[in-house]
Structure 1
Amino acid sequence: MSDVRVFIQRDSEREERVVTTGTTAAELFAGERSIVAARVAGELKDLSHEVQDGEEVEPVEITSEDGLNILRHSTAHVMAQAVQELFPDAKLGIGPPVKDGFYYDFDVEKPFTPEDLKAIEKQMQVIQKRGQKFSRRVVSDEAAREELADEPYKLELIGIKGSASSDDGADVEVGGGELTIYDNLDAKTGELCWKDLCRGPHLPSTRNIPAFKLMRNAAAYWRGSEKNPMLQRIYGTAWPSKDELKAHLEFLAEAEKRDHRKLGSELDLFSIPEQIGSGLAVFHPKGGIIRRVMEDYSRRRHEEEGYEFVYTPHATKGKLFEQSGHLDWYADGMYPPMQLDEGTDYYLKPMNCPMHNLIFDARGRSYRELPLRLFEFGTVYRYEKSGVVHGLTRARGFTQDDAHIYCTKEQMAEELDKTLTFVLGLLRDYGLTDFYLELSTKDPEKFVGSDEIWEEATATLQQVAEKQGLPLVPDPGGAAFYGPKISVQCKDAIGRTWQMSTVQLDFNLPERFNLEYTGPDGSKQRPVMIHRALFGSIERFFAVLLEHYAGAFPAWLAPVQAVGIPIGDSHIPYLQEFAAEAKKKGLRVEVDASSDRMQKKIRNHQKMKTPFMIIVGDEDMAAGTVSFRYRDGSQENGIPRDQAIAKLVDVVERRVQV
């Protein structure tokens, strides 16, 4: 044996160590149980990797992003082994890690039942306790085909070597370059228990899987194509500790309570009728009130900031989107054309910006008019695949609060700064306060315009973003084809991140539309264009707020701000007078005159998450007062009627949560 020199890199610390030939990464990090893999020369390796002279080796902790992916991918293999032990005829698809968990696809005769999932999870626990070893070996294409002759989907993947992807973007299990199989070996005898075509890496042993749970199953097309067979997908989750698994399951339970689709039905806010179509919602009266209040407040704030309102049609000739470039770059996201006017193609619009350009270009413009801020609540249509449509958050028809700002190059930085400040302030008005910013830069395969223009636009956006004092996260390649963007990422009440507003800087569409204004010297000059959507879409923002507040909207947004609860029928006229006075002040107050008993009325309106209940009995009628009951069940008695109305008005005007 000879000595080899390796360099161990931990964050900013670098340690040189001399070891003997054949030393593995596991031996380098012996005793450090949290380390599950190694990064060698930038590439993830199993801990069984034998280090070579001069290699730089970085430990991978199970709690890191890479470590979690390895944990979850290894657990997916355990699940697949359990399925084939219980269902020997099951054929294997793919099983990648995904956010917070993993899945594996199977071709089986019948869909899995909840009882099947319980049995599979129990068998996984048996496999985990066996402490089977994950063992990697390189194989030729021919050998892999021979070994996996009974697995048709694996045979299809052999030779692809990483070029395919599953329907949610996760890479298939075949690595580029080398073809590898991972064996699950008995800890005591070394006998083969199970194997899979996989690029790895994996945990050293199934005993290194601390905590997991199967979540649900669903149907999924093989490799995401509707032309392929329908497989059964089982989703699971795995975590570095039982406590983290428990916390995740509690989080999911809370998220389920807040699901906007569930709350939308329970609170009678909106629905997505099958007769209309997937991703196309209708708002019921109470949901309509919330939406109108959201829009009205936004409209008022935009007017205060100097925006001018415009309106554009829902459909247009296809040549408009040829000019804008959307038919070149965005056709897959658009509805198919309609043949009208002797063969002319018309499209439902997927965005509003081309039409706003036509408004700018409808007459000559002077530098004195700039910046020109055009704003529209514009309904657009995007043909999302059925597999990604999700309630109001991923819809096929939705209304953008869309603004396009036309300014001079000299005004650009100041206008961007004002726009981003306005956007963040308005989001805070709706009760969202925890933000970070993301800077999306050019996709080298999908852009128009010169590199110089993109560099200037990106540098300007970065300077503007940094002025806000919020964390700024890079998003390489995430920009639209016409320019870089800042997106506002917001955390809700339970810590989930939502992309909210976007601000995009565009030198290209003004060029494509030949937009011009007359400068101070009489010359024709090209404006700069800023694209800006604050809500993103009203529907999606509605869903985010619904989940953020768990349906308990602050009084200014609540469809019913207060409901009168009479102790007896004789108190109904008194409450109706109170409600009429409140409505004159712009409040949304109702009286429950149903035949239900008082306590049932209270329970009903608690379920509907009404901010205030106004309770009245004989003493209140005699004294000219009311009693306030709050959402938390506390009560304040003997409030004079005028003071009660003033209190409601104050809470609504200050937009505070109660």
Structure 2
Amino acid sequence: MGGTTSALVPMRTVRSFVHITINFRSDIEMCSPISKQVLGRRYAAMLMARAIQHKIQGVRLGMFADTSQGFYYDFDAASPISEEDVAEIEQDMKQLAAQDEPANCRHCSRGEAIKLFEAKGEHWKVEWLKEGAMEEPVVIFEQGGYMDILPWGCAADSGEHNEELDQSAVRDLLRSKPFFKLLNVSGAYWQGDSQKPMLQRIYGVAFASKRELDEYLKWQEEAQKRDHRKLGKQLQLFMFADEAPGMPFYLPKGTVLRNELESLSREYLLKYGYEEVRTPFMMDRHMWEQSGHWDHYRDNMYFSELDHHHFAVKPMNCPGHMLMYKNSLHSYKDLPIRYAEFGQVHRHEFSGALNGLFRVRTFCQDDAHIFVAPEQIEAEIMHTIDLIKEIYEIFGFEYSLELSTRPLDSMGSDEQWEAAEAALLKVLEASGLKYNLNPEDGAFYGPKIDFHIKDALNRSHQCGTIQLDFQMPEKFGLSYVDEQNIKQTPVVIHRAIYGSIDRFLGILIEHYAGAFPIWLAPVHAIVIPVAEAHAAYANEMRERLIDAGIRADVDSRDEKLGYRIREAQMQKIPYMLIVGDAEIAAGNVQVRAYGQKEQEQYEPYAFISMMKGKINERAQ
């Protein structure tokens, strides 16, 4: 009977590492395909460490971990590791793997392990061991003069932790023969703590077969083509500037995209009974203390002082909506009350975490807060799920749901949390939708249902959310009068559809590779005159399109026709209208759709009718 191994795997939902136990048999020639993948990633990480030790004098090893498709290792080197270094390290790894040197593991106490690594000058390993980050015995892996800690053990679990099983697991490790590729190097704080030194981290991927590696590299190449940062510049959608790090500037075409997303949402807000509101960007510190953000979210906020008062720039819209509700008296007959806001919020992010529109310091949150009586909770959550589903289906997104429960840092009683979690669970069960459980990842004030959408590259993005909150209404003293004329405290449902309009836009750019559906495209059509003599007719066509509500431009630059056609293709404009002598004589236009070589002749009226139909239907 084989043993088990557990790995330190970085999880999206927490800031520290979480132990995950992975079972595999060690009494057969090779592990299952899943276990082989995991073993291959770990062995590739250790091959990388060996190669770096050979190449870079004085390098000190940090720790390594699995990722969903690969691995990373943190290193302390006197000088930056370059991309050229990474390429050479990868070649050295292949040579080391081909040598097929024997390896073994041994058990020792924490004290013995500390002495071993002190003798090698590996102070990061020593620090990790002294912090007691793993139970004894410590499992040491050795191969060709290289020595490392296996932080998961080799076959450690429930009484089966012994050297015989670990040696068997090491044999499986060596048999894994991974196909690997090093990807990039970046900075990483030791143990993820910004107060500790920054090391250099090299990422890689490893697979059980060359076919899987080739498929991944092809996928990665496509992902790079779709990178929203690259396309945002190419399509003139947005920009960033050193004067406002992490804060996007939306250019005219990008602003059109944002406006279209907001317009779509507003249509459904009206349909689903929401009222749109606006709240200030900055509010007094006392209010943030009252809401709980001061205690639970202060490190992510920006502050200012005005007239001897301390203010905070809002990271969320919810406290402002609480004040709005409290501004009036409410009866049970008024509920549910649904406030929606496209609110610009600011949240502090470390510079190293910034990532285009995906991770910024200011963004527009399509936030809403629904004030309900307790007996309305389930119906209103179902109502909200229906709203989010309708909007996601317009984009053709597949999506999955996730129920996140009480986090370690939370406020409120056990009874309130149990009631809130039970309500969300009941709605999910009644909806018939599939969902996953995500323990301890709720908001600090309540559990939540998150919507994860899947893009064209099969990547998952958390966007929509529905959060149940019993805490904030109490903190703000909110109330309504029930049927018996008795004051009661409402429950608040926080919800977002896009989550962050900025991030959702980044997802859309990559999902569509910049070739947006016609209704969303910043420019619906561009008119291209063959020569200067045809410019007046081209401008006339543009005016007719604009009058019909179609976003249209003219490209009458003094450039060759082929150049202007290629430029329109590069800008991914849905339709090109090419006009020359024949079109003027016939009073029509020659139409070429994006990505097509064929051209069709249209009467202007017929083309406008076709375009308006596609735009109004929000055709994909």
TM over 0.5: yes
SS of 1:635 mapped into structure 2: coil
Letter in 1 for 2:561: M
Q: How far did residue 453 of structure 1 move?
A: 2.3
SS of 2:370 mapped into structure 1: strand
* Structure 1 match to 2:142: 183
1:490 aligns with 2:456: no
Instruction: Output one character per residue of 1:427-468: Cα deviation in whole Å (capped at 9) or x when no partner.
Output: 222x1321110011112x222222222222222212322344
Q: How far did residue 218 of structure 1 move?
A: 2.0
> Hey, what's the Cα distance between the residues in 1 that align with 2:596 and 2:237?
24
SS of 1:619 mapped into structure 2: helix
Letter in 2 for 1:360: Y
Instruction: Output one character per residue of 1:344-388: Cα deviation in whole Å (capped at 9) or x when no partner.
Output: 321111111111011000011111211100011111111112222
Instruction: Output one character per residue of 1:175-224: Cα deviation in whole Å (capped at 9) or x when no partner.
Output: 3333221112xxxxxxx531112323365243422310111112333333
* Structure 2 match to 1:240: 208
> Hey, what's the Cα distance between the residues in 2 that align with 1:626 and 1:203?
70
Alignment of structure 1 residues 341-356 onto 2, 5 Å: 341-342=307-308, 344-356=309-321
* Structure 1 match to 2:260: 293
* Structure 1 match to 2:328: 363
> Hey, what's the Cα distance between the residues in 2 that align with 1:157 and 1:652?
59
Q: Which runs of 5+ in 1 are unaligned?
A: 1-5, 7-23, 27-41, 50-56, 163-174, 185-191
- CA gap of 1:346–1:522, structure 2 versus 1, over 3 A, is same
- CA gap of 1:489–1:584, structure 2 versus 1, over 3 A, is same
* From 532, 553, 567, the counterpart of 1:569: 532
Letter in 2 for 1:299: R
* Structure 2 match to 1:305: 272
* Alignment check: 8 A CA contact 1:130 1:207 kept: no
Higher helix share: 2
Q: How far did residue 326 of structure 1 move?
A: 1.1
Q: Which runs of 5+ in 2 are unaligned?
A: 5-19, 155-168
* Alignment check: 8 A CA contact 2:518 2:524 kept: yes
Letter in 2 for 1:408: A
SS of 2:247 mapped into structure 1: coil
* Structure 1 match to 2:403: 439
Q: How far did residue 576 of structure 1 move?
A: 1.2
SS of 1:96 mapped into structure 2: strand
* From 47, 53, 69, the counterpart of 1:78: 47
Instruction: Output one character per residue of 1:541-582: Cα deviation in whole Å (capped at 9) or x when no partner.
Output: 111111111110111111110000111222211121111111
* Alignment check: 8 A CA contact 2:39 2:176 kept: no
* Alignment check: 8 A CA contact 1:131 1:207 kept: no
Alignment of structure 1 residues 85-234 onto 2, 5 Å: 85-148=54-117, 149=119, 150-162=121-133, 175-184=134-143, 192-199=144-151, 200-201=153-154, 203-204=170-171, 205-234=173-202
> Hey, what's the Cα distance between the residues in 2 that align with 1:243 and 1:176?
38
Q: How far did residue 522 of structure 1 move?
A: 1.2
SS of 2:242 mapped into structure 1: coil
* Structure 1 match to 2:575: 612
Letter in 2 for 1:246: D
> Hey, what's the Cα distance between the residues in 2 that align with 1:247 and 1:643?
44
* From 220, 229, 235, the counterpart of 1:261: 229
* Alignment check: 8 A CA contact 2:109 2:136 kept: no
Aligned length, in residue pairs: 586
* Structure 2 match to 1:36: none
Letter in 2 for 1:339: E
> Hey, what's the Cα distance between the residues in 1 that align with 2:471 and 2:192?
34
> Hey, what's the Cα distance between the residues in 1 that align with 2:223 and 2:400?
22
- CA gap of 1:634–1:44, structure 2 versus 1, over 3 A, is closer
Letter in 2 for 1:156: E
Q: How far did residue 269 of structure 1 move?
A: 0.5
> Hey, what's the Cα distance between the residues in 2 that align with 1:25 and 1:590?
67
* Alignment check: 8 A CA contact 2:569 2:595 kept: no
Q: How far did residue 588 of structure 1 move?
A: 0.2
Letter in 1 for 2:410: F
Task: Compare relative contact order (CA 8 Å, sep 6+) and give the higher one, 1 or 2.
Answer: 2
* Alignment check: 8 A CA contact 2:76 2:199 kept: yes
Letter in 1 for 2:320: M
* Structure 2 match to 1:33: none
Q: How far did residue 284 of structure 1 move?
A: 0.5
> Hey, what's the Cα distance between the residues in 2 that align with 1:412 and 1:232?
48
Larger CA deviation: 228-237 vs 396-405: 228-237
1:653 aligns with 2:616: yes
* Structure 1 match to 2:520: 557
Instruction: Output one character per residue of 1:123-153: Cα deviation in whole Å (capped at 9) or x when no partner.
Output: 1112212223442212233432332222122
* From 481, 495, 500, the counterpart of 2:463: 500
- CA gap of 1:60–1:355, structure 2 versus 1, over 3 A, is farther
> Hey, what's the Cα distance between the residues in 1 that align with 2:125 and 2:71?
18
* Structure 1 match to 2:14: none
> Hey, what's the Cα distance between the residues in 2 that align with 1:268 and 1:113?
31
Q: How far did residue 485 of structure 1 move?
A: 0.7
> Hey, what's the Cα distance between the residues in 2 that align with 1:238 and 1:43?
20
* Structure 2 match to 1:416: 381
> Hey, what's the Cα distance between the residues in 2 that align with 1:365 and 1:319?
25
Letter in 1 for 2:142: D
Letter in 1 for 2:360: A
* From 566, 580, 601, the counterpart of 2:564: 601
* Alignment check: 8 A CA contact 2:291 2:475 kept: yes
Q: How far did residue 254 of structure 1 move?
A: 0.8
TM-score, length-scaled by structure 1:
0.85
Letter in 2 for 1:624: G
> Hey, what's the Cα distance between the residues in 1 that align with 2:575 and 2:205?
41
> Hey, what's the Cα distance between the residues in 1 that align with 2:476 and 2:31?
51
> Hey, what's the Cα distance between the residues in 2 that align with 1:433 and 1:653?
19
Q: How far did residue 47 of structure 1 move?
A: 6.1
Letter in 1 for 2:478: L
Letter in 2 for 1:452: E
> Hey, what's the Cα distance between the residues in 2 that align with 1:139 and 1:100?
31
Letter in 2 for 1:628: V
* Alignment check: 8 A CA contact 2:41 2:178 kept: no
* Alignment check: 8 A CA contact 2:104 2:170 kept: no
Instruction: Output one character per residue of 1:607-646: Cα deviation in whole Å (capped at 9) or x when no partner.
Output: 0000000111212111111111011223342211110111
> Hey, what's the Cα distance between the residues in 1 that align with 2:193 and 2:360?
20
- CA gap of 1:448–1:562, structure 2 versus 1, over 3 A, is same
* Alignment check: 8 A CA contact 1:566 1:615 kept: yes
Alignment of structure 1 residues 528-547 onto 2, 5 Å: 528-547=491-510
> Hey, what's the Cα distance between the residues in 1 that align with 2:97 and 2:542?
64
* Structure 2 match to 1:390: 355
> Hey, what's the Cα distance between the residues in 2 that align with 1:310 and 1:44?
50
TM-score, length-scaled by structure 2:
0.90
* Alignment check: 8 A CA contact 2:73 2:201 kept: yes
Q: How far did residue 71 of structure 1 move?
A: 2.5
> Hey, what's the Cα distance between the residues in 1 that align with 2:318 and 2:51?
53
SS of 1:405 mapped into structure 2: strand
* Structure 1 match to 2:305: 339
